[in-house]
Structure 1
């Protein structure tokens, strides 16, 4: 449709015309996905995500100019108040109108994208190519949750009213007015993880193998809330091929030792089958992971005394600790 204004001059008469369009519409959204994040990072570090399409699409006009009377309102609502997981845990997050924390979009509160220059910065009305309004998201720190897929469906209510065309004399030639509703799906996958606190084993110095003292220490694991897991210790870098003893090395010489479950040399702690330890077998807080509190596993390490004392030197080994969920 063309809207025309007749401008009369002393000598000439000129018809000034400018097109006016129905420029904005509500369209299907693009989901916002945080991806897969470990439970520890979800609890300790804000995660970010975004969608390039929050449901409002506009085709601009080079003659459009927003004034204080124009608005692009968005009202976000939901029945859950955050991302909900398989056990009912909730991960809270904040919506933002741009890719910083300067313009939070509160739920159930009308937010005007025409203010703060956001619409102008998006170039939503500055050309003839359709553009969509993005939304940005950031999780709240402190969510101690179980592993699984977390989702929320947001209801988006858009409403706009603005001058869609400006004439040569700065007069509004028409307004684009409309409203509509859409939904936006947000999701995040929480993966199992553990924070492990350990102390290296130091047998100290001794002149003969029989003089080395045994070492009793603990491994502390804070694993994902609700997780069941096992802990394994591999055989080190140079185990004995027959009998499975672990060995420290210095040059071409070895010093055999081992690591056992609990507080005695009764059962060797290994990496496969029943040689592993389960979360229910912890000496402190046995059972499922809590996400924050540590489960403590005791172990006993000793140098074998039935071996020949090797040459003097600094003997060392490296053992891999693995957690399987």
Structure 2
């Protein structure tokens, strides 16, 4: 018992900040924190550390820990290895009772220090999580580090002194949008004596709750929405792009009221149909006529 009373360890854990998380990219994001240990006691003795970390203030499911922002959840996990395969768990928590075993050896003067890395990962494929600042705090019984003198590397005996260092895990999700497009092809026609219609598409993926508008510019001729120009050299074919199947609502720039299409993000892809029409007109010489329209999503 004299040895047990002689040892003393101080622990600190740096906060783990994942920074800005792009939930629309589909990829995971890694982070780390550092556990610092300083101990004093009998010279040249080994101190075994059994470092339990529980669910955290954000709670957990059977497979993930969670950060919270209001009532919203962002899934992540803590690990003991750089490959992020061994969950850093707790002997006092039913899920993942597998914290690593740590140790350090005191020097001739009876002191020792060491640093250990706590690895984290925010999981990918969380596009339905809304924008916000997410947090999980670890303190008190949720962080239970037990340490003692021993020559063994076995934490099955959880006797010894205890410490409860605190830290937080944070991440932020900003409003974000992605856009993809489907070209419009009016096909091949001999004489432009009647309407020629076709459709294309714009797919917008935004974080849930993000308000957006989709505008289409005037093409290479910077023309009005219903009088855009496909060209072949100096010759042109007039066409229009519309919001509706009746081709009555021109689709133009976001800066012009009524000409852009509004929406609210859901985290999934929202397909907006672009209705195209080539009206009757004087037919130019045969060939392929093209135009390039820039899609702008404002959010």
What residue number does 1:38 align with? 22
Q: CA RMSD in A?
A: 3.4
> Which has the larger Rg?
1
What residue number does 2:10 align with? 25
Distance change (3 Å), C-alpha of 1:152 and 1:264: same
Does the aligned pair in 1 maintain the 2:179–2:297 contact within 8 Å? no
Distance change (3 Å), C-alpha of 1:236 and 1:60: farther
Aligned residues: 267
What residue number does 2:37 align with? 57
Structure 1 unaligned blocks of 5 or more: 4-20, 165-176, 280-287
1:148 is displaced (CA, Å) by: 1.4
What residue number does 1:146 align with? 130
Structure 2 unaligned blocks of 5 or more: 60-65, 152-159
Any residues of structure 2 matched to 1:15-164 within 5 Å, and which?
24-27=9-12, 29-41=13-25, 44-51=26-33, 53-54=34-35, 56-58=36-38, 70-81=48-59, 82-86=66-70, 88-106=71-89, 108-109=92-93, 111-114=98-101, 119=102, 130-143=113-126, 144-155=128-139, 156-162=143-149
1:130 is displaced (CA, Å) by: 4.3
TM-score by length of 2: 0.74
2-structure distance, mates of 1:298, 1:112? 52
Q: Deviations over 1:155-184 (max 9, x none)?
A: 2222222459xxxxxxxxxxxx75322221
Distance change (3 Å), C-alpha of 1:100 and 1:58: farther
What residue number does 1:313 align with? 287
Distance change (3 Å), C-alpha of 1:129 and 1:267: farther
Does the aligned pair in 1 maintain the 2:80–2:86 contact within 8 Å? yes
Q: Deviations over 1:246-299 (max 9, x none)?
A: 2223233332222111112222111223211111xxxxxxxx43223x544333
2-structure distance, mates of 1:85, 1:252? 57
1-structure distance, mates of 2:298, 2:190? 39
1:103 is displaced (CA, Å) by: 1.8
SS at match of 1:188: strand
TM-score by length of 1: 0.69
2-structure distance, mates of 1:300, 1:193? 26
SS at match of 1:237: helix
